[in-house]
Structure 1
Amino acid sequence: MIYLGIDVSKLKLDCTLLLDPENDKRKSKVVLNSRDGVQELVRWCTKHGVAADQVHAVLEATGPYHEQAATTLHDGGITVSVANAANVHDFSRALAMRSKTDALDSLVLARYGVAMRPAAWQPPPAHVRELRALITQLEALSKDRLRTMNRQEKIEASAASELVERSISDTLSFYDKEIARLEKAIDDHIDRHPDLKDDTKLLSTIPGVGPKVARTMLRVMRTHQFKCAEDLAAYLGLVPVQRQSGTSLRGRSRMSKAGPADVRAKVYMAGVVASKHNPHVRALYQRLLAAGKTKMSALGACMRKVVHLCFGVLKTRQPYRPDYAFST
């Protein structure tokens, strides 16, 4: 396979085709981040004697910007890998890259592909992408509503005009209607697709996982290919990071927090609830506190446990069993 590193931005794709890694023979090109731009990129690879089925493209996950390129490349017969940004950053540091440009980033991604042989990415089905879009819009509106509520509190404490107060009140009413409409659309969408409906039911059997957390975890797990629960926890930034070297450096372990903060915030609330109402998570929480761990450290472990349980019920296709640990 010939590796193609692609640094993705909103408007363009900086690409490096690594023809001969040992002799550093490579070609570079910049194309628009559009369907036409990606098709131009495929023709450019063919021009340099590399057929589509010989190319393995490596991109970083950059929110919505990488998805069009990844999907179009995949549809064009090119193997695609979407690499974790933190892993690529660590790899770049290992290469002692002193400069950082889009062109160099694409070279790092190509070399990352050669060295790590990342797994191939598969685009999620259309109905899963639609679910993700609906949930993303719902979360955006919820954040806007919260900001407006905070602004309303400040306005009420000041000498604002009645027009301003009415404007904010009308805005909140609009958000309430749109949020209710989107929540119904999400529920209807899940009900229309048996796989999503079954997954939601399984996730909802876990004490501590409510409807919002279930939808969020469903979105994450159905739009990424995680081989194991540890990979899912690492993606969400829930794995502990230790800092220790010899006898002089013995830093306290902390959560990596490398991943989507909004999802992590929901898992945190699920961990808090589960530490009180979920038998497995509550036992873990109490055991860690008894061992002298801080409450935040114990809650971090509870968050990881919730994620493992979510992965487990979807992996086994079995609902949560409170007695499982005691029956094995």
Structure 2
Amino acid sequence: MDIKVVGIDVSKNTLDLDSLPDSASLQFINDEAGIASLLAYLAEHNDEGQIDRIVLEATGGYETSVSIALAGAGLPVAVVNPKQVRDFAKACGILAKTDRLDARVLARFAQQIRPPVRPLPDEAQREFADLLDRRSQLVVMRAQEKARVATAPPLAIKSLKEHIEWLDARIKSLDIDMTHKLRTSDVWKHKVELLSSVPGIGKVSVFTLLGRLPELGKLNRQQIAALVGVAPFNDDSGKRRGQRYIRGGRAEVRNVLYMATVTAIRHNPAIRSFYERLSLTGKPFKLAVTACMRKLLTVLNTMAKTGQPWENKLPA
């Protein structure tokens, strides 16, 4: 059987597989034994390294075990955004949705779109990301509880305040754990020192950049901007020249980068000077801030790549 690309639809309990150019619709259990059977099947059809790409969707964690196992077996794995695949399916006229059909769509997506294969996070990176996930959950809960205080009946106020205090303590404890993990890691320690030296980059920014953007320092400036979602897209048609806009990317990283940039505009002389130059040319606030976000990300990416410390100036 000729297999070049593979699509695997991941659910909580099952792994549905399809392949191209020869179709092979199979299902495995999403557990240790099922993943082992999947690996054995793929190894049988990959004697000469003929499998070019295996594509899975990010499914909130259900794909983690199988993607790690595939990468560990030396297979080319790409974990992609589900929205991209759904848009691709609609463009192909495929509106129905089943696990078997989704696997087929993923195989076609792998064949025609050829998403890039990137190294998966190692165990330390995954553990840190898990801590960051939990911190984000607690921060959201705290914001919800604080919002309830304004309209809560008197009997509930005490309970709400106690819960907020408990959440404050848990978030602080997680911050300590995450800081310790970063500063005692041979890999991360130097990056923490580099990133923290940039005015505007605080503790949460460092956590998010290292936990959510492991590609920092490994891509060029265009690639890292597109990955985060701060690369501008044209909106032109005929003689019309529309305003460029940003979209997609990693929203959590972009949100943190926005807050860091707003702080940097006030406290980082280089970013402030860049923002002022844009403002003087008539750039709207939103456009100027976005340009500063992209510039700050480029600087951080270069620092992570070269290991050079922050200097109070921006590259041309």
2:57 match: 60
Residue 56 of structure 2 aligns to a residue in which SS? Answer: strand
Shift of 1:292: 2.0
What is the CA–CA distance in structure 2 between the aligned matches of 1:43 and 1:231, rounded to whole Å? 35
Structure-2 change in CA distance of 1:251 and 1:9 (3 Å) = farther
- Give the alignment of 1:257-296 within 5 angstroms: 258-296=248-286
Range 140-149 or range 65-74, more displaced: 65-74
What is the CA–CA distance in structure 2 between the aligned matches of 1:150 and 1:201, rounded to whole Å? 35
What is the CA–CA distance in structure 1 between the aligned matches of 2:314 and 2:274, rounded to whole Å? 14
Shift of 1:106: 2.6
2:19 match: 17
Tell me if 1:254 matches 2:245.
Answer: yes
Q: How many residues align?
A: 313
Contact 1:217 1:310 in 2 (8 A): no
What is the CA–CA distance in structure 2 between the aligned matches of 1:88 and 1:290, rounded to whole Å? 42
- Give the alignment of 1:28-43 within 5 angstroms: 28-43=25-40
Q: Given residue 5 of structure 2, which amino acid in structure 1 is its aligned partner?
A: Y
- Give the alignment of 1:1-328 within 5 angstroms: 2-18=4-20, 20=21, 25-45=22-42, 49-51=45-47, 53-55=49-51, 56-85=53-82, 88=85, 91-92=88-89, 95-155=92-152, 159-161=153-155, 164-222=156-214, 226-247=218-239, 250-256=241-247, 258-323=248-313, 325=315
What is the CA–CA distance in structure 2 between the aligned matches of 1:271 and 1:102, rounded to whole Å? 42
What is the CA–CA distance in structure 1 between the aligned matches of 2:132 and 2:168, rounded to whole Å? 15
Residue 240 of structure 1 aligns to a residue in which SS? Answer: coil
Contact 1:54 1:78 in 2 (8 A): no
What is the CA–CA distance in structure 2 between the aligned matches of 1:119 and 1:276, rounded to whole Å? 38
What is the CA–CA distance in structure 2 between the aligned matches of 1:11 and 1:238, rounded to whole Å? 36
Q: Given residue 64 of structure 1, which amino acid in structure 2 is its aligned partner?
A: G
Contact 2:217 2:301 in 1 (8 A): no
Q: Given residue 14 of structure 2, which amino acid in structure 1 is its aligned partner?
A: K
Shift of 1:90: 5.8
What is the CA–CA distance in structure 2 between the aligned matches of 1:190 and 1:101, rounded to whole Å? 42
Structure-2 change in CA distance of 1:60 and 1:80 (3 Å) = same
User: Deviations along 1:45-93, whole A, 9 cap, x unmatched?
Assistant: 456x444954331123334232222101122342212235565456546
Structure-2 change in CA distance of 1:230 and 1:10 (3 Å) = farther
Range 280-289 or range 196-205, more displaced: 280-289
Contact 1:81 1:119 in 2 (8 A): yes
TM-score, structure 1 as length reference: 0.84
Gap runs ≥5 in structure 1? none
Q: Given residue 174 of structure 1, which amino acid in structure 2 is its aligned partner?
A: W
What is the CA–CA distance in structure 2 between the aligned matches of 1:259 and 1:272, rounded to whole Å? 20
What is the CA–CA distance in structure 1 between the aligned matches of 2:84 and 2:277, rounded to whole Å? 32
What percent of counterpart residues are identical?
A: 31
Higher strand share: 1
User: Deviations along 1:272-312, whole A, 9 cap, x unmatched?
Assistant: 11223333322332222222221011111111112111111
Gap runs ≥5 in structure 2? none
User: Deviations along 1:235-282, whole A, 9 cap, x unmatched?
Assistant: 2222222222114x55432221x1332322211111111223333322
RMSD: 2.7
What is the CA–CA distance in structure 1 between the aligned matches of 2:215 and 2:48, rounded to whole Å? 24
